[in-house]
Chain A
């Protein structure tokens, strides 16, 4: 899909996030920099801890969506609870690169939104493929009501599909998909 790849966060990708995302923020007006800079610093600091072999990251499993030019376009927060009583891989969140986010936009460019949805779909599908192969259960967290609406639309669609290869249901704000 669009030449993207899905790679666990490493030193090289962290360096690219640090440099390229910083450059994109610094190209924005001062007011925008003031808004985004603390989040950028917090994200980079968090990623530095993740790649530091002396730091414990628990079940957290950070991945990056990389485009065909090798540029990081999204940071994906997963947990890999494969040793838990109920093993699963969980999709917690996705942080898009600064020029793709909606924070500072006043209108919707449908073409840009379509590209962003492609990145999100690639991240979710990649994580789903790993989960189904490794632990056979995948969960996605719906932090806002809009994404929970997406889950409900998906479940409604899936219920009408007689050849479903997995069970899919909602558990509070989580969408759960289990291989049959």
Chain B
């Protein structure tokens, strides 16, 4: 549990340091914050293949 809490702390700090303060146009470049209205159905499977 200690490693999970540690990871959460450092990831949150990094995420907030980059994202908080960004303007709307830049935030829309972040895939996690938008729905990709152009992507194809097989795209996620492609990610898995590429891993």
> A residues near B, CB below 8 A?
35-36, 38-39, 42, 45-46, 58-60, 77, 79, 81, 88, 90, 92-96, 98, 101-103, 105-108, 110, 113-114, 116-117, 120-121, 124-125, 128-129, 132, 139, 141, 143-147, 149-151, 153-154, 157-158, 161, 164-166, 174, 177, 179
Contact = CB atoms under 8 A, between A and B. Distances in A.
A108 B51 contact: no
Contact of B15 (A38, A45, A59, A150): A150
B35 A157 contact: no
A117 B13 CA distance: 11
B24 A90 contact: no
Chain B interface, DSSP helix/strand/loop, else mixed: helix
A68 B30 CA distance: 26
A117 B11 contact: no
A110 B23 CA distance: 10
Given A60-B48, A93-B47, A110 B20 contact: yes
| Interface bracket on B | 35 or more
Given A102-B34, A121-B11, A165-B3, A146 B26 contact: yes
Contact of B30 (A35, A81, A98, A147): A147
A149 B7 CA distance: 17
Contacts of A79: 48, 51
Given A60-B48, A113-B20, A121 B15 contact: yes
Given A90-B48, A107-B24, A117-B19, A132 B32 contact: no
Nearest to A146: B30
Contact of A39 (B10, B16, B36): B36
Given A139-B51, A141-B47, A146-B22, 5 more contacts: A39-B36, A60-B44, A90-B48, A146-B30, A151-B14
Most buried by A among B10, B31, B35: B35
Contact of B19 (A92, A128, A150): A150
Contacts of B4: 125, 128-129, 132
Contact of B51 (A39, A141, A144): A141
Contacts of B22: 108, 146
A108 B3 contact: no
